[in-house]
Amino acid sequence: MKLMLTILTGLIFFISGIAQSTDHEYDQEDILLKVIYSLQSDGSGFYEKGVFPSQRLHPVLNKKYEDNNIFFTGLIVLILQDAKPYLSQKSREIIDSITQRATRNYQEYKNKKGYPIYNFWRTSPSMHFPNDVVLSKLKKFKLPEDFDDTSIIYMTDEHEDELSAWLKSEMKNHTNMHRHQIQNTFEQYQEIPAYSTWFGLNMPIDFDICVHANTMSMVYDYNFELNKYDSASMFLIRNMILKNYHLTDPAYISPHYQKASTILYHVARLISYSDDDYFDPVKPRIIGDLQLLLRDSESFMESIILSSALMKLGVCPETKIESSLLESDIGSYHFFVANMASTLGNPWKKWLGYTDIFDFPYECEAYDYALILENIILYKQMNCE
318-329 tens-digit pLDDT? 877 766 666 678
So what's the pLDDT on residue 327?
Answer: 67
**147 neighbors 134 (Cβ within 8 angstroms):** no
- Nearest CA to 298 among 324, 266, 334, 264? 324
So what's the pLDDT on residue 127?
Answer: 83
Rounded to whole angstroms, the Cα distance separating 243 from 186 reads 11
User: Mean pLDDT throughout 357-382?
Assistant: 91
So what's the pLDDT on residue 27?
Answer: 75
Per-residue burial over 16-40, b if 16 or more Cβ lie within 10 Å, else e, is eeebeeeeeeeebbebbbbbbeebb
CB atoms within 10 A of CB 90: 11
Q: Residue 195 phi/psi, 5° resolution?
A: -70, 145
So what's the pLDDT on residue 347?
Answer: 54
290-326 tens-digit pLDDT? 999 999 998 999 999 999 999 999 999 987 776 666 6
So what's the pLDDT on residue 176?
Answer: 96
Model confidence at 17: pLDDT above 60: no
So what's the pLDDT on residue 200?
Answer: 83
User: Mean pLDDT throughout 153-178?
Assistant: 95
Place 352 in a pLDDT band, splitting at 50, 70 and 90. low
Q: What angle do CA 193, 195, 201 make, to 5 degrees?
A: 100
Q: Residue 259 phi/psi, 5° resolution?
A: -115, 145
- Nearest CA to 46 among 29, 67, 30? 67
Rounded to whole angstroms, the Cα distance separating 279 from 267 reads 9
Q: Where are the domains of the chain?
A: 2-382
Question: Identity (one letter) of the amino acid at 27?
Answer: D
37-78 tens-digit pLDDT? 999 999 999 999 999 999 999 877 788 999 999 999 999 999
Query: Which CATH topology does 2-382 take?
Result: Glycosyltransferase (1.50.10)
247-303 tens-digit pLDDT? 999 999 999 999 999 999 999 999 999 978 999 999 999 999 999 999 999 899 999
Question: How distant is the alpha carbon of residue 47 from its chain centre?
Answer: 20
So what's the pLDDT on residue 4?
Answer: 54
Q: Residue 332 phi/psi, 5° resolution?
A: -135, 10
More confident position, 35 or 5: 35
205-238 tens-digit pLDDT? 999 999 999 999 999 999 999 999 999 999 999 9
